[in-house]
Chain A
Amino acid sequence: MTHPIAPILNDEQIQRLNTLAKLGADKVAESLSKWIRTEIVTSSAKAAVMHYSKLTELSPSTEGLSTAILVRVSGSISGYLAFIFDEISTKHILARILRRDIDSLAEWDNLRRSAMEETGNIIGTSFANTLAMNLGLEIHPSSPVMAFDFPDALWDTLLTQYALEGDYALSCQVTFNSPDNMISGIFSVIPDDLQTWKAL
């Protein structure tokens, strides 16, 4: 382990991040609900320290493919906001935004890609604004990027960011669902540098 995490973040700091995760999660659910005109509720929001290999177990599904949308944030704190939706959820989100049935995700045209990236933009900005307002920080979200692929391959790429810091990582995981369970997703905060997030 390069950077032992336990001495970096104590229980009180983890608890503070938990509170922030919950605040941000509620805003994420609210903005996603408005964007896709479907009720979305937060089912869990938790900050935790874990070995990076355990993060893949949080993936919504290891079967089929998933969408990951990444929003880079910079300013007082920096890192990524990652939103991951399984295939069924992706179809339902696109159907709601584009107002048409989505039978297959074999082809990704600009319209579909833009719709998912805008989804990441709306909920990422919402989370970043919540953090900024509550902490008095400057946080600047960038344009989102997305990929549709094996969930483990998406995590494989995201985990490299954690690996730069060591074997253990801070993870703020939020899961959200629609009441009919047709849309569910995971939202994860991936810090660049744990030292700056410690100051939260």
Chain B
Amino acid sequence: MKVINVGVGELAVSASPDILKTILGSCVGIAIYSPRDKVGGLLHIMLPRLNNGDMNRTKYANSGIPELITIIEGKYGVNRRHMAAKIAGGANMFSFKKTASPLFDIGPNNITAVRYCLNELNIPIIGEDVGSNYGRRIEFHIDSGRMVIVGPDKQAIDR
């Protein structure tokens, strides 16, 4: 079994029994997998929409999610009709109440963009832990489809 760390703005795909992990603040982690085929991937997006000309497609929800699905399809021959998603992150880490800040809305905007994109691609979200104001360490277990999420209070939850 391999434990694969997914960096900021990156993705990784693998098969059972591997575990994919990342740490999230306002970014959103999207695990897309096929429970039937026991393969899947984890994407760590930073921003909602692709900027013009940016070649780094995995930074964005609207370009990274289709890319992740395409890679899983291509590498493992899985039909996207058998795929499901679990998402986590999108926190509002800093409470900018008194100051206008571009950072203020990034977490909620990322969540909205991820939901919209998955809905457009007909990938159901079957588990999530998003929003609020704290960071999350997540592990996605491809064999069981469990997403284990640990917050700064060290309490682990399963999604």
A76 interface residue (CB < 8 Å to B):
no
Partner of A164, one of B24, B47, B53: B47
A58 interface residue (CB < 8 Å to B):
no
B152 touches A65 (CB 8 A): yes
B98 touches A142 (CB 8 A): yes
- Interface size of A by CB at 8 A reads 34
State the majority secondary structure of interface residues on B. loop
A-side contacts of B103, CB under 8 Å: 70, 80, 157-158, 160-161
A154 interface residue (CB < 8 Å to B):
yes
Question: Which one of B78-86, B119-127, B134-142 is at the interface?
Answer: B134-142
| CB-CB contacts below 8 Å: A1-18 with B | 1-2
A53 interface residue (CB < 8 Å to B):
yes
| CB-CB contacts below 8 Å: B54-102 with A | 54-56, 59, 91, 93-99, 101-102
A147 touches B133 (CB 8 A): yes
Query: Measured between C-beta atoms, what is the minimum distance from B12 to chain A in Å?
Result: 14
Known contacts A150-B23, A153-B23; 17 further A-B pairs (Cβ under 8 A): A1-B54, A1-B55, A2-B51, A2-B54, A70-B103, A72-B96, A152-B135, A157-B26, A159-B46, A160-B26, A160-B46, A160-B47, A161-B102, A163-B59, A164-B51, A166-B54, A167-B56
Tell me the B residues contacting A by CB distance below 8 Å.
7-9, 23-27, 46-47, 51, 53-56, 59, 91, 93-99, 101-103, 106-107, 133-137, 152-153
